[in-house]
Chains A and B, each alone.
Chain A
């Protein structure tokens, strides 16, 4: 079999980005949570906030580390596998990615050192400041990266001359048509991800009778927040979809599984789309639902995939099913969060064992939803690298052979597997140790502040099997 460098590069990029994406989406929300805890600690002096902040900072450090190392790969992958694309789009993407480095990465990386190691070295206000800088840095970073990604979806402010993208307007390019809703959608997703992880872990501690005071505090904070954010996300996601309908109708057609242009298109709940036969099997849907959502009219027209040549269509089953997974998990999150709020108001949240168990089981849900949403938007953009302007196969590195692409693909899969397995293993140990094991007392006493001595004793002396 001939090894296709384009195909292998696409797999590699999808793999690296998917792997990388789950870390920032978690750390962006978590950084904001930690900064809030530090602010509350600064104002109230209540030690429960310090206990929570210390604990979640440990988690943050591990996840951020994994995010950083996998992110460095991204900065170089454009050049190694997609050099023609990089060269052509450098006038826009170069400055945008550089601004991300100088306005965000340095801020995060440098102040993270102070946040992690500086609690006893700088005044409390300065430590709070460092926490805020890390949180702000993660947001600035997502601003730039989503601007770059949105520009590839809905390019603006550029024109192509001799194969090179030349700038006509920086404002139009940075704030391109789909940027606003995409950024809002992503930011809320980041809050939901961190929120549901905190929710799930706190619920787990409560059921175990561990770290009761701080877990109740964390649970109360996040339940209220999630009950506000989860429904908001539904609304923002809807507007994002309408925006996509305007600028990338073929993506929406794939999301809805619409092949023929039709008025009064149904909202399909289930179907098995077939790319080759250009039709769906086993359709179950709500009549006129898609038209109503997309056009606000029962008989509004929704363009079908057949409006585009077969080679210009995205892979429909992937987009169709990823979209349903994302929306399904989103609805589940809304139900879980609102149910939690109701129980909280009734004063029964901490005793609702089934709900608490559900929260723990739902920890993977936001991550899967984020990845699914990312598949929808990225696979839905295919076959374009820059929508309507540059196709995927035209952007690949000419000197790249299939063998080289395969070598690095296998390499990254192996490396990331080690990173991921070890990371999850050590995270689970931090989680099992719990917030109570990371208090000031332990750091002051014990074996002369030997790194993580508290964790060593509580974990490593466990009987080996």
Chain B
């Protein structure tokens, strides 16, 4: 092994990028998922305004994930995308409809309800497709050489439908806790009410996935059983964080529910990585098999080390600029 394992560095960087995407676009997709259940039109305006200045930056992490995969792990890119062909189309169509809804909804009057649906259905479909991608990753792909050779609907199984619904519920929880943080009055009261239900739903999916995954996927089962002395901490940590979240809702703490939900996502994410490690394209190819040329990895790494902190810096700054409650003071009058 070389002095520095570039591939390992890239796993960390891309892992971080995908996590950033999940956490950031997760809450604004969640706002879209919850949209039709909001108590009134004013609440919908507020919810949309709370994400309008930042959603575009959030979604850029997804493009970084795509381009970064191509750069560092081209095999993952070249297998996942053809394997998930139809799913990727649904994801993109969903993101398109919700994206244009931001601009068009506030310019429409009689047709506004159409853009409400566009925002809601688009967000839900995109979230579901992302969850299905996670499920398909656990499931594995039929690969010969470096190319996908399976059928167009191999990814669509009861298992992936379930992970898809799980992510929809999880994003909705992120969206609800974000709404608690950013709104007040009736909208916030509504968000307080729905959050415990969404938490219960997400924990339900967590239990089902935790039982179903090892039982149907031998790889995962072996990994869990051989590391049982450490892995029991994950369900425990999940329960503790959930209790923290529930408690903060009862005490009407505005910030903690959002933070706790993000912590839950981090836990699930690490759990997933541990279960799948070291496979980039299961069941055969590891991250090291899938890696691009070290020269390319290095060329991009040098830039990333310099640029990513700057990106994080100005992203954080804009969240600071748009801090505080959304209702009443900052409409979509850009």
The answer to whether A and B assemble together is yes
Query: Is residue A113 contacting chain B, with contact meaning CB distance below 8 A?
Result: yes
Cβ-defined contact, A86 with B322, below 8 A: no
Cβ-defined contact, B85 with A105, below 8 A: no
Cβ-defined contact, A73 with B78, below 8 A: no
* Interface of B: prevailing SS: helix
The interface on chain A, measured as residues whose beta carbon lies within 8 A of the other chain's beta carbons, has a size of: 85
Please name all residues of chain A whose beta carbon is closer than 8 Å to the beta carbon of B62 when the two chains form the complex.
72
Cβ-defined contact, B64 with A101, below 8 A: yes
CB closest chain-B residue, reference A78: B70
Cβ-defined contact, B100 with A79, below 8 A: no
Cβ-defined contact, A98 with B147, below 8 A: no
CB closest chain-B residue, reference A449: B331
CB closest chain-A residue, reference B74: A90
Distance from A405 Cβ to chain B, minimum over Cβ atoms (Å): 9
Cβ-defined contact, B295 with A73, below 8 A: no
Cβ-defined contact, B93 with A415, below 8 A: yes
Of all A-B residue pairs in the complex, the 6 with the closest CB atoms, nearest first, are: A94-B71, A79-B81, A90-B74, A451-B332, A116-B334, A113-B53
Query: Is residue B56 contacting chain A, with contact meaning CB distance below 8 A?
Result: yes
Cβ-defined contact, B70 with A90, below 8 A: yes
Instruction: Tell me the bound Cα distance from A170 to B88 in angstroms.
Output: 31
Query: Is residue B186 contacting chain A, with contact meaning CB distance below 8 A?
Result: no
Instruction: Tell me the bound Cα distance from A84 to B145 in angstroms.
Output: 12
CB closest chain-A residue, reference B323: A121
Supplied contacts A91-B74, A102-B303, 12 more A-B pairs, CB within 8 Å: A66-B103, A76-B92, A79-B88, A83-B147, A94-B292, A107-B314, A111-B314, A114-B318, A121-B322, A404-B152, A451-B331, A452-B106
Residues of B within 8 A of A (CB): 45, 49, 52-54, 56-57, 59-60, 62-64, 66-68, 70-72, 74-75, 77-83, 85-86, 88-89, 92-93, 95-97, 99-100, 102-104, 106-110, 146-152, 292-293, 295-296, 299-300, 303-304, 307-308, 311, 314-315, 318, 321-322, 328-334
Mind listing 7 A-B residue pairs with CB under 8 Å? A61-B103, A75-B63, A79-B78, A83-B148, A97-B71, A113-B52, A398-B147
Instruction: Tell me the bound Cα distance from A191 to B292 in angstroms.
Output: 37
User: Which of A176-184, A206-214, A310-318, A421-429 lies at the binding interface?
Assistant: A421-429
Query: Is residue A217 contacting chain B, with contact meaning CB distance below 8 A?
Result: no
- Give the residues from 39 to 95 in chain A that come closer than 8 angstroms, CB to CB, to chain B: 57-58, 61-62, 65-66, 68-73, 75-76, 78-80, 83-84, 86-87, 90-95
Given A103-B307, A105-B60, A411-B93; A452-B332 close (CB under 8 Å): yes
Cβ-defined contact, A86 with B70, below 8 A: yes
Please name all residues of chain A whose beta carbon is closer than 8 Å to the beta carbon of B314 when the two chains form the complex.
106-107, 110-111
Cβ-defined contact, B78 with A430, below 8 A: no
Cβ-defined contact, A422 with B100, below 8 A: yes
Instruction: Tell me the bound Cα distance from A24 to B148 in angstroms.
Output: 33
Instruction: Tell me the bound Cα distance from A116 to B103 in angstroms.
Output: 11
Q: Most B CB atoms within 10 A — which of A86, A94, A115, A119? A: A94
Instruction: Tell me the bound Cα distance from A400 to B88 in angstroms.
Output: 13
Query: Is residue A460 contacting chain B, with contact meaning CB distance below 8 A?
Result: yes
Cβ-defined contact, A80 with B300, below 8 A: no
Please name all residues of chain B whose beta carbon is closer than 8 Å to the beta carbon of A105 when the two chains form the complex.
60, 63-64
Query: Is residue A296 contacting chain B, with contact meaning CB distance below 8 A?
Result: no
Please name all residues of chain A whose beta carbon is closer than 8 Å to the beta carbon of B56 when the two chains form the complex.
68, 109-110, 112-113
Query: Is residue A345 contacting chain B, with contact meaning CB distance below 8 A?
Result: no
Cβ-defined contact, A452 with B92, below 8 A: no
Query: Is residue A351 contacting chain B, with contact meaning CB distance below 8 A?
Result: no
Query: Is residue A419 contacting chain B, with contact meaning CB distance below 8 A?
Result: yes
Cβ-defined contact, B333 with A452, below 8 A: yes
Please name all residues of chain B whose beta carbon is closer than 8 Å to the beta carbon of A114 when the two chains form the complex.
53, 318, 321
Q: Most B CB atoms within 10 A — which of A95, A397, A404? A: A95
Cβ-defined contact, A69 with B95, below 8 A: yes
Given A72-B63, A76-B66, A110-B315; A415-B77 close (CB under 8 Å): no
Please name all residues of chain B whose beta carbon is closer than 8 Å to the beta carbon of A449 when the two chains form the complex.
329-331, 333
